[in-house]
């Protein structure tokens, strides 16, 4: 079975294997809110208008939806269902910094978070962005920093903290969760918070952009020749982190999790890593017969351990 990343890349380059259905919209009752008061900073040209693509191939019995050519980044707030824990998580879908797997690694993560009393803030960050190869090799050249996506991530964390009282969120329990390329953004947000990647634009930018906790799910681009990517400088102040990956992940490779976890452990950062023999890449939270698909319960236990959720 093709990985999601391979399949969605193919969708953008071929015909007859996908259906384009306009632009993505959240479910009724939820609204996308631009994260910048005007034009987003440092915007670069993209190869066309924003579009949504739905696969005809299936992942765990369901199609997958991709968004590309995002120049107007937005956040969509999903309030918790039932009891509000007070925690919030900014969700960062993956897609090789070319597309966003907006359902598999976005709205479906929000469904799980909100069902567990956590406010979910789904970020539709800018893709594709330089210095990325639009030919769909799905990896940044020379492991350069995805500046546009980092700007959008930092800005969203600041906005969530700025609106914490209004949204009934504890400003000291705001985390980030990302998949694949989004997992790299999780590591960047966790290690590069001392300086914004953009110039402040309003009062929200007086807020801290440091996440209080982080979840990196089959992250990519964290290891360079077996060593930690210098773009994610782990320190003892890096927030507590949960890492998950499959040993047969042939898109990013299990060394991504191993190298990052090792750096966290050496810095004394509270971290938990789970590796599974099988699972591949880009499985999201969809359930299959593989044991790895039970991972959300491990994350829930970890969130209780670090005090984000009550025991």
Q: What are 241's two structure tokens?
A: 């982190």
Q: Which of 61-70, 109-118, 132-141, 216-225 has the highest mean pLDDT?
A: 109-118
Q: pLDDT tens for residues 122-131?
A: 999 999 866 5
Q: How far is CA 93 from CA 48, 67, 72, 174, 268, in A?
A: 21, 10, 16, 17, 28
CATH architecture of 4-305: 3-Layer(aba) Sandwich (3.40)
Q: What are 102's two structure tokens?
A: 């907006």
Q: In the chain, helix, strand, coil percent, each to 5?
A: 25, 20, 50
Q: Are strands 241-246 and 271-276 parallel, antiparallel or unpaired?
A: parallel
CA 13/CA 249 separation, integer angstroms: 23
Q: Torsions phi, psi of 35, nearest 5?
A: -90, -15
The radius of gyration of the chain's CA atoms, rounded to the nearest angstrom, is: 18
Q: What are 143's two structure tokens?
A: 């492991």
- Nearest Cα neighbor of 158 from 231, 232, 75, 42 is 75
For the chain, which residues make up each domain, given as ranges? 4-305
Q: pLDDT tens for residues 141-189?
A: 444 445 899 999 999 999 999 999 999 999 999 999 999 999 999 999 9
What average pLDDT does the segment 231-235 reach? 95
pTM over 0.75: yes
> Would you place residue 56 in the very low, low, confident or very high pLDDT band (cuts 50, 70, 90)?
confident
Q: pLDDT tens for residues 234-258?
A: 999 999 999 999 999 999 999 999 9
Q: Considering the chain, what percentage of its residues have pLDDT values greater than 70?
A: 87
């Amino acid at each position: 079975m093709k990985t999601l990343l391979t399949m969605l890349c193919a969708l953008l380059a071929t015909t007859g294997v996908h259906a384009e259905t306009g632009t993505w919209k959240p479910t009724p009752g939820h609204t996308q809110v631009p994260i910048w008061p005007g034009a987003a900073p440092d915007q670069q040209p993209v190869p066309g208008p924003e579009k949504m693509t739905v696969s005809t191939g299936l992942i765990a019995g369901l199609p997958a939806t991709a968004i590309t050519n995002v120049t107007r980044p937005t956040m969509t707030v999903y309030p918790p269902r039932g009891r509000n824990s007070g925690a919030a998580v900014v969700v960062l879908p993956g897609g090789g910094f070319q597309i966003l797997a907006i359902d598999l690694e976005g709205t479906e993560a929000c469904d799980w978070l909100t069902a567990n009393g956590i406010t979910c803030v789904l970020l539709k960050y800018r893709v594709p962005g330089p210095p990325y190869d639009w030919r769909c090799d799905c990896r940044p050249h020379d492991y350069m920093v995805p500046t546009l996506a980092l700007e959008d991530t930092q800005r969203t964390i600041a906005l969530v903290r700025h609106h914490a009282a209004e949204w009934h969120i504890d400003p000291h329990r705001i985390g980030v969760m990302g998949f694949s390329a989004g997992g790299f953004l999780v590591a960047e947000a966790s290690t590069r918070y001392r300086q914004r990647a953009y110039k402040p634009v309003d009062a929200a930018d007086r807020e801290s952009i440091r996440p209080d906790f982080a979840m990196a799910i089959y992250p990519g681009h964290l290891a360079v020749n077996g060593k930690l990517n210098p773009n994610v400088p782990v320190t003892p102040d890096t927030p507590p982190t949960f890492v998950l990956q499959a040993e047969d992940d042939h898109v990013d490779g299990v060394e991504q999790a191993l190298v990052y976890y090792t750096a966290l452990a050496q810095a004394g950062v509270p971290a938990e890593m789970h590796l599974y023999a099988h699972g591949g890449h880009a499985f999201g939270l969809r359930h299959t017969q593989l044991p790895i698909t039970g991972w959300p319960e491990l994350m829930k236990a970890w969130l209780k351990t670090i005090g984000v959720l009550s025991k």
